[in-house]
Structure 1
Amino acid sequence: MMARRETTQQSPASLFDSLYCSEEPWDAQGPELDVDDEDDDPTAFLADQDLSWEDEELVRLASREEPNPLRRDLAADPCLAGARRESMDWMMKAHARNGFSPLTAVLAVDYLDRFLSGFGPQAENPWMTQLTAVACLSLAAKVEETQVPLLLDLQGEESNYLFEAKTIQKMELLVLSTLEWKMNPVTPISFLDYFARRLGLKGHLCWEFLRRCEEVLLASLSDCRSTSYLASVMATAVVLHVINDLDPRLGLQCQDQLLPILGIQSDTVDECTKLVSELASAIRGHRSSKRKFGSVPGSPDGVVDAYFSSDSSNDSWALAESRSSSPEPLLKKSRAEDRLRPNSANVNSEILLFPH
């Protein structure tokens, strides 16, 4: 079955200039981004927006979200918390190695938490924790990705256990039956696109904003404390953290716009935002340490995984990219990445506004 292995008010646009980053040109054969002269005036774009129907859709979305079933059990059961940490550690490494989309990771976490709430840790079968993680990530990839690696390849060389494909498939069926085949839950990512539109973001600026939010979200979900918050609260906290890094005044303005629509208490969001900021700062410090003592990529051709780093200044964000640690994944295209990414050279200056 398995084999053991070793183991701002004055000029909001200027605040977002640092979100732009140099990147390789998009596929020259793809459709070109159509930028009209009218786009020079972002307020004209916002004036054409009718967000009332989106507010209604947001309310319906929030009505479907459910609390994490593990939120109480994790605090009372150290073994369960340990099993979740071990599973999360493996899933995040495998997610990065295979180049999966952020939504794939978020779905895998949701499947894992819901499954563990029903089964709990299997102390007598220590390999069960990793098998559960493999099955949850495999199912999430099948839901979200357009190309999925073989089950043996999905596990990677760093796995403590290597499971046969038929063993993983049996576990997938157990997870599916436990979750009652409900594989498309409301997640924090469900809210991020709406928030970006509500803030008036578009083009490359919108794509970069969402990328940063998704990265902070993944860092936050790995912590057991994140299970205490609804998906809408977590998404709001992530957005506020990203905006507060630029200017806290914009964060307050954003909060005043979003909370009444979602019906969320500000104290809950403030608490969650503090947690998100704490976890994001820890990841940032860890990466700064790795860059200080690790190898430096030799050329742009060495880029595989992009991640952001920030110093203590609110307006100093840098994009750090490296592939020195692993070869480029062969299967990394997802449904979320089928959308056209605009070339930053073709995008005009944009502005952060809060339409009513």
Structure 2
Amino acid sequence: MAPPYALDALFCPEEHWEDQEQEQQQQQRYTNLTNEDLFWENDELISLLAREKPNELFQIIQTNSSLAAARRAAVEWMLNVITHYSFSALTAVLAVDYFDKFLSFFHFQTDKPWMFHLAAVACLSLAAKVEETHVPLLLDLQVEVSRYLFEAKTIKKMELLVLSTLQWRMNPVTPFSFVDHMSRRLGFKDHICREIHWWCERTILSVILESDFMSFLPSVMATATMLHVFKAMEPHLDVEYDYQLLNILKLDKGNVEECCKLISDASRRNSHQFKKRKFGSVPSSPNGVMDVSFSSDSSNDSWSVASSVSSSPDPLTKKNRALDQCFVDIPR
């Protein structure tokens, strides 16, 4: 008879399998940041916080309902065109940012709506030229139903006016700047960062019509969006990262919570309109991730417009069904 210890060697400690699997999943989710990485990350964060600016148009809109309505109509038209051409989410955010800044300098007469629409066409054209690989002709850009159709030379003149008004600063800090930074700062691996980024894009695009969000800095908007996505991914996941995000960015918790509430309300309120839009499908393979990536050397806010695809399972990708219940459906 073989000695007992020899037989013991044939048995596996099954009760530890689940713990080992959870540990492996945690390792798949996170990546280690070196001290050098943190040094560069801190420098980047300091730069982003120093460059972000409040939306000056917000105060003007509060006392001008006609202007608020004109802005909403213009932004909605831009989103429809962006959907038509499958432009990236960053293109949408840049176009709206240019438009808001331009309106804060130029006070158009609300009884001349064509002026708002011309500015919207010009801002969208500029954003597309900054971020997109293929940009349609100016006449082709006006594909969505509108009362106005402008000649190319007219749009080009407005583009120059917008550029001079913004002092040719076409790379502003956006919420996506912080989403990208914080995803890496929290130590998530690349495929998890892509997934978080994709869900944050959906969230921001679903609320970008609302003028209420103009009162929040990009850092606050990004933090609230990430917490909203984390909560949808898994119960209490937002609590796990709440302190970390607020501590790193040194943000006021009350301000972030207020923004989170507005995001939840606006997402439900605009879900019907957002459901009609298709800002791109999620790739089904690693090659697909590369195929739908959009980037530009001229912008620090460039990112991969894709959901993560990984050959190995992880806790976050298993939560997509919960996320789908919190957001409107987009064909995948």
Aligned residue in 2 for 1:41: 27
In the other structure, the counterpart of 1:78 is: 65
CA gap of 1:228–1:207, structure 2 versus 1, over 3 A, is same
TM-score normalised to structure 2 length: 0.76
State the match for 1:87 in structure 2.
74
CA change 1:348–1:72 in 2 (3 A) is same
1:54 is displaced (CA, Å) by 1.1
Counterpart among 285, 301, 306 of residue 281 in structure 2: 306
State whether structure 2 residue 42 is matched by structure 1 residue 55: yes
Contact 2:91 2:128 in 1 (8 A): yes
- The reply to whether residue 243 of structure 1 matches residue 230 of structure 2 is yes
Return the TM-score normalized by structure 1: 0.71
Shift of 1:48: 5.2
Judge conservation of contact 2:207–2:267 (CA < 8 Å) in 1.
yes
d(CA) in 2 for partners of 1:144 and 1:169? 18
CA distance, structure 2, for counterparts of residue 117 and residue 344 of structure 1: 41
Partner of 1:98: 85
Larger Rg: 2
Q: Determine helix, strand or coil for the equivalent of 1:185.
A: coil
Residue of 295, 308, 329 corresponding to 1:335: 295
Match of 2:178 among 174, 191, 211: 191
Cα shift readout 1:299-329 (whole Å, capped 9, x = no counterpart): xxxx98438xxxxxxxxxxx9xxxxxxxxxx
Contact 1:236 1:269 in 2 (8 A): yes
Counterpart residue number, 1:68: 55
Residue correspondence of structure 1 range 226-241 to structure 2 within 5 A:
226-241=213-228
Q: For residue 145 of structure 1, report the CA deviation from its aligned partner.
A: 1.0
For 2:144 and 2:29, how far apart are their aligned partners in 1? 52
* Pick aligned residue for 1:276 from 258, 263, 284: 263
In the alignment, is the contact (CA less than 8 A) between 2:55 and 2:215 conserved in 1? yes
State the AA in 1 paired with 2:154. Answer: T
- Name which of 133, 138, 144 aligns with 1:146: 133
**Deviations 1:27-77, CA, capped at 9 Å, x for gaps:** xxxxxxxxxxx9993378336574343133212211111100112111111
Partner of 1:299: none
- Which of 91, 97, 100 is the matching residue for 1:110? 97
Segments of 5+ residues of structure 1 without an aligned counterpart are 1-9, 15-37, 292-302, 308-318, 320-331
Alignment of 1:311-326 (within 5 A): none
CA shift in 2, pair 1:44/1:183, >3 Å = closer
* Residues 203, 347 of structure 1: 8 Å contact kept: no
- Aligned-CA RMSD value: 3.2
Q: Which structure shows the bigger proportion of residues in strand conformation?
A: 1
* Preserved CA contact (<8 Å) 1:212 1:242: yes
Instruction: Kindly provide the amino acid, as one letter, of the partner of residue 32 in structure 2.
Output: L
Q: 1:181 aligns with which of 136, 143, 168?
A: 168
- Residues 238-277 of structure 1: CA distance to partner in whole angstroms, max 9, x if unpaired? 1010011133422122120111221210000000011111
Which residue type is aligned with residue 234 of structure 2? D
SS of the aligned residue for 1:71 comes to: helix
User: 1:158-204 CA deviation, whole Å, 9 max, x = no partner?
Assistant: 12211111111011111111111111111111111112112332243
* Cα 1:123/1:207, change in 2 over 3 Å: same
Size of the alignment, in residue pairs? 284
Identity of aligned residues (%): 45
Query: Which secondary structure state, in structure 2, belongs to the residue aligned with residue 335 of structure 1?
Result: coil
- In structure 2, how many angstroms separate the alpha carbons of the residues matched to 1:202 and 1:75? 42
Question: Retained in 2: the 8 A contact 1:59–1:261?
Answer: no
* Shift in CA distance, 249/151, structure 1 to aligned 2, threshold 3 Å: same
When residues 200 and 285 of structure 1 are mapped into structure 2, their CA distance, relative to the original with a 3 A threshold, is farther
> What amino acid is aligned across from residue 75 of structure 1 in structure 2?
Q
Q: How far apart are residue 344 of structure 1 and its match?
A: 2.9
**Which residue among 191, 197, 200 is the counterpart of 1:210?**
197
Q: Which has the higher helix share?
A: 2
1:344 maps to 309
Tell me, in whole angstroms, the C-alpha distance in 1 between the residues paired with 2:260 and 2:80: 25
Shift of 1:345: 5.4
Aligned twin of 1:252: 239
Question: Contact (CA 8 Å) 1:135, 1:168: kept in 2 or not?
Answer: yes
Judged with a 3 Å threshold, the aligned counterparts in structure 2 of structure 1 residues 129 and 146 are, in CA distance, closer, same or farther, namely: same
